[in-house]
Structure 1
């Protein structure tokens, strides 16, 4: 989680290995926005480049993480605003 945390603070993309609920492994590049607890699980909120959408990743399913060397500053604040707008639109 240290690498994910660094990605959040430095606004740097992170290359991760991720295992989904079915056990399939994927390689993804994410723009990490926040680390939070949700439903008793540590979660990573990120923009997923593979899916081109916001995703919540369960931290315990991240098999590896490496800083990708690509900064996304100043997009982090805008991405967070977009995510919150999507949540508000769903509640209406």
Structure 2
């Protein structure tokens, strides 16, 4: 079963690379994605350890980073609002 899962992952990786390089997207999208990822993580880190709001901690996980990557600064505010409202 594990071998089948690894095979599916390798096949999907190969097809993804084929699509990326066939459409001539290059690696520009990768640097943009990396920049957004770093800035999202930095924004959440600043909220956690700045001391502005002492009782709020936003975990660094794929869901929170993804929300901040897509929404930007309003994503951080959304997560803060959800955290203060729900917990």
TM-score (norm 2): 0.31
User: Larger RCO: Structure 1 or Structure 2 (Cα < 8 Å, ≥ 6 residues apart)?
Assistant: 1
Q: Which has the higher strand share?
A: 1
Q: Would you tell me which structure has more helix in proportion to its own residues?
A: 2
